[in-house]
Chain A
Amino acid sequence: MSNGIFGIGLSGLAAAQAGLTTASHNISNVNTPGYSRQETVQSNAPPQFSGSGYIGTGVQVTTVRRVYNDYLGAQTQHVAAGAAQLDTYSTELGKLDNLFGDSTSGLSPAMNNFFTALNAVAQHPADTPSRQALLASAQALVSSLRQQDDQLSEIRSGDNQQIQSAVTTINSDAQQIADLNKRIAEATAAGNQQPNDLLDQRDQLIRGLNDQIGATAVAQSDGTVNVFLSNGQGLVVGQTASTLVARPNPDDPQNYEVGLQNGASVLRFTAQSLTGGALGGLLAFRDGDLTAAQNALGRIAVTLASAVNAQHHLGVDLTGALGGDLFTVPSPVITNATTNTGSGTVGASIQDATALQASDYRLSYDGTNYTVTRLSDGNAQTFSSMPQTVDGLAITVSGSPAAGDRFLIQATRNVPGTLKVAITDPARVAAAGPVTTGRSSGNAGSGAIGAASVDSTYPSTPLASALTLTYAGGAGTLNGFPASASVTVILGGTSTTYAPGVSPPYTDGATYAFNGVSFTLSGTPANGDTFSVAPNVSGTNDNRNAQALAALASQNLVANRTTTFAGAYGELVATVGNTASNAQTEQTAQAALLSQAQSQQDAVSGVNLDEEAANLQKYQQAYQAAAKVIAIAGTLFDAILAIGATS
């Protein structure tokens, strides 16, 4: 009987000791991330039958369990993936926001200075310092574009590096999860008890994995978990981890893509299929906002440079020659996919800069048809033959591409980094108009000739020498136009074209156009009155073309002639600002959600020191009481011995 009391006392001691140990374990892990508090589960030991009924035999510790809610755990992991994605996305957008945010530096003032300098040339066309200042401001504009491009490229290469390091972390986490799966399966099978601390470690690893990429854990009956990525691909299956690879995209080596190592080959993932975690944020930012911003900036640069060049071609410089390029506009960059097998090469040139979209294009060939995909919105056009013009880009194919060959066409993204100023000699700035007009001083009539303007066809048929137009009073015609040129007479919106060699009639107020030159005649000329139309060879003080160049600033030339250069830049800044602001709002909301989920989980699983203090107290007293039971059992035993000794 005293044996029973000893046993009961001992079982009580053991149970209290287990309680104390567990409380101490909880206390010492109070700051361990991912630790779930543990508690002993004790039950009364099976009773012993006696004639007087069942007699209790003490206590037994059934198990030590961790207090963990699977639902809350999964929720925290899921929310953490979203929070990490938005956090990274918002941080990266913040870099763009800062880059475009400063209104005192950057492109806006550089563009403004360039057009101000053009205006200054219009004010003093013959003044070399003004021309020099124009070239300097053109250089400053190019530098400002290059600087922004440098920063954008830096952000891109930083993203690529972060993608690589995220993939490294993911692989290491996946491997550790697989290892833990193995140990947990072994431990569970051996003792039929849960290895709480290993489970905590694994949950914490999955939680960490979700900071890098969205991943879902599915529990298996043997205690292991399988981890799946957002695109359904298994990252960890049982005790085996797959390996993710970050490598340059074969279609676009500037960008790193993520894939799954599958034997010797790589299973490629589309960026859109990978969501959640830092990796999801990086991919969404790099392929979305960053590319869009670079292309939008590039489109402004290429449209501005092309428009300025086109207008500059219509002027004459101080030497009397027609203007050349003011900017050297880089050609579109074509990247052949490294997987191409055919011999086809693709060429692209900008045909109409005003029609350009802020996007890259992919040309793919399926054996019969060519498909040109605008990557910004996925708009695809299919052609049975090439060349074709898409969004102002003339695309040609030579050689024979193989089916499945792909080509990346970038007309805008590289421009800010490679644009150059083409002239260094201030005398080469074509500030003057190419054609001058005049009436002869001996004219008897009141006929007057307006200033000549030229259109884009003029440089191909420039005026070689001075023309004298003579008014023939009898016939009422104007003679002296070049014999090879047809003359168009425009009056009040009606235009009439006269064949080469035919003298057009003189009409008061009409505009006469030939070979790209046009001018207005008005008044009443007398018979034999003459007017001269001559190439401008000594017009050093002529500012007509400089004015036309300066006026480009207020013309709608970007995005199919819907906005100005400054307007397009404002749109870019507003888009970045809006996206960044939205991302910040979403990120704040998601962070609140995460802290709430974390808090719910902590409320269940977290260690409370006061509670553990009470537990210590409780188990200590239980221990002391059980010890007292043993002491009493001893006393009882002594009493029995004493009976024997006295009798």
Chain B
Amino acid sequence: MRISTAQIYNAGVSGIDQQQSTLSHTQQQIASGRRIQTPSDDPIAASQALTLSQAKDRITQYGDNIAAAKDALGLNDSVLSQVTDVLQSLRTLVVQAGNPSLNDTDRASLATATAGQLQTLLGIANTKDADGHYLFSGFAGNTQAFSTAASGAIVYNGDQGDRTLDVAPGRSMQASYNGASVFEQVRNGNGSFVATAASTNTGAGTISAGSVVNPSVLPGDSYRLQFNVSGGVTTYDVIDATTSATVSSGNAYTSGGNITVAGMQVAVSGAPASGDTFILAPSTSQSVFTTIQGLITTLRTSASGAAGTAQLQNGLTAALANIDQASDHVLTVRASAGAGLSELDSLASSNSDRSLQYDTTMSHLTDLDYNKALSDFARQQLSLQAAQKSFAAISSLSLFSFL
């Protein structure tokens, strides 16, 4: 076949050009450590890598949210543990106050201690987070959660919003607990009903906090135990206070004996006077502050005589029941936060597993196989040298050199 001189040069030069460009591409790959320089190098892997890096970004964002939720719940738990401590010491105070050897002065000093605890609790309830926002005021971060109204009552000023954070696809984690739900929505009495003695009682009857013996018949109505002393015999009537219907009358009274009304069981002890009443009402929510303020009032009220002592005893029983309810309530909140924390831990660890897996896949997709690249490089270098040498040899051949 006939070959023109230009062809010899063109073929030589284009061969060398091509080898050089391949070599330079391999060199770029080696220098950057990336197999894919532009998406066109491997469009499928490039778009997979993009999707993957976006998925990884999502995980990182969930990771940030998890960390923030953990911080928030951790802070919440440490503050609530202080609440538990305060309630614990209040409980001790109440038990101490029940000691019959204490006189009014002793109880007054206990009342002062209780008032101190109340202020401590108020301080805890008004804790601010690291950003300077009230921890327990719901969404209203700039509003002081609890304050003392003119009436002396401690009122909640925040709202009932609880912040959540998205910690996994489709899973949001509660990261804050509003003050109303922590401090205010505490069921009073024994949690189901409240047993109280009427303040007008003149006798020495005391009533226990009671318990529910048959939840299925709890009617939601209030009941009144109306005592009668006639001829040294004490009897009581049970009246449905909501409907004013008499349930039973003339029941024989035994001090310390259990009285069961509509699934509720209480024990009345001591000697109630004729006309004394005790009320069993369904529980409502009562603020822990109201409970403590009630306790202070009870402790400051002079207890003289059998009736006074019974009043005191009834007040202390009620306070103890309410404090126990508050403790339980706070512990329930802490348990829910704790469950959240442990879920966050497991989410965090599964996230880091997935993140690692994404990294591995990403590396497979985009990273360079150095062994292959370096061997390619050596091979391409050799080809280039061969092309250069053969071109030099061919181009030096000319018939003119022999003429």
Contact = CB atoms under 8 A, between A and B. Distances in A.
Given A122-B166, A608-B5, 5 more contacts: A436-B138, A441-B156, A567-B51, A581-B42, A606-B4
A87 to B, nearest CB: 14
B344 to A, nearest CB: 13
A94 B142 CA distance: 55
Contacts of A93: 40
B346 interface: no
Interface SS majority for chain B: mixed
14 contacts: A101-B39, A103-B49, A115-B61, A116-B57, A539-B139, A539-B141, A539-B159, A554-B58, A570-B47, A573-B39, A577-B40, A577-B47, A603-B2, A607-B4
B54 A570 contact: yes
Interface string B115-151: 0000000000000000101100111111100000000
Contacts of B60: 116
Interface string B278-298: 000011110100000000000
Contact of B163 (A541, A569, A577): A541
Nearest to B45: A577
B375 interface: no
A124 B61 contact: no
Contacts of A433: 139, 161
Interface in A587-624: 595, 598-599, 602-611, 613-614, 616-617
B4 A550 contact: no
Contacts of B163: 125, 541-543
Given A577-B46, A577-B47, A553 B166 contact: no
A440 to B, nearest CB: 8
Contact of B3 (A97, A551, A603, A614): A603
Interface in A106-139: 108, 112, 115-116, 119-120, 122-127
B54 A541 contact: no
A554 B54 CA distance: 10
A544 B169 CA distance: 16
Contact of A607 (B5, B44, B156, B283): B5
Interface stretch (B209-217, B252-260, B395-403): B395-403
Given A436-B161, A580-B39, A613-B399, A602 B4 contact: yes
A393 interface: no
Interface of B: 1-7, 10-11, 14, 37-44, 46-47, 49-51, 53-54, 57-58, 60-61, 64-65, 68, 131, 133-134, 137-143, 156, 159-166, 169, 172, 176, 180, 184-185, 220, 282-285, 287, 398-400, 403
A451 interface: yes
Contact of A444 (B54, B61, B282): B282
Interface SS majority for chain A: helix
Nearest to B183: A441
Contacts, number: 219
Max count, chain A CB within 10 A of own CB: residue among B41, B156, B398: B41
B73 to A, nearest CB: 13
Contacts of B2: 603-604, 608, 611
Given A126-B142, A602-B7, A606-B6, A442 B284 contact: yes
Contacts of A576: 39-40
Nearest to A585: B40
A437 B160 contact: yes
B139 A574 contact: no
B237 to A, nearest CB: 25
B172 A547 contact: yes
Contact of A112 (B57, B220, B285): B57
Contacts of B61: 115-116, 119, 550
A567 B48 CA distance: 10
Contacts of B156: 441
Residues of A in contact with B, size category: 35 or more
A432 interface: yes
Contact of A540 (B38, B50, B141, B283): B141
B46 A573 contact: yes
A580 B36 CA distance: 14
A516 interface: no
A511 to B, nearest CB: 18
Interface in A316-372: none
A584 B42 CA distance: 12
Contacts of A617: 403
A472 interface: no
Contacts of A574: 39, 43-44, 46-47, 50
B399 A610 contact: yes
Contacts of B58: 553-554
A542 B403 contact: no
Contacts of B54: 108, 112, 566-567, 570
Contacts of B41: 581
A107 B40 CA distance: 18
Interface in A6-61: 30-31, 37
A398 B141 CA distance: 52
Nearest to B36: A101
A407 interface: no
Interface in A403-446: 432-433, 436-439, 441-444
A613 B398 CA distance: 9
B402 to A, nearest CB: 9
Interface string A528-548: 000000101011111110010
Contacts of A442: 284-285
Contacts of B220: 526
Given A441-B287, A602-B4, A541 B139 contact: yes
Given A543-B165, A547-B172, A101 B159 contact: no
B64 A116 contact: yes
Contacts of A441: 156, 180, 184-185, 285, 287
Contacts of A101: 37-40, 46
Contacts of A540: 133, 139-142
A126 B141 contact: yes
A554 B284 contact: no
A89 interface: no
A244 to B, nearest CB: 32
A536 B51 CA distance: 38
Contact of B139 (A122, A436, A604): A436
Contact of B284 (A443, A553, A580, A599): A443
A100 interface: yes
Contact of B38 (A98, A125, A614): A98
Contact of A570 (B38, B51, B65): B51
A609 B396 CA distance: 12
Contact of A580 (B5, B40, B165): B40
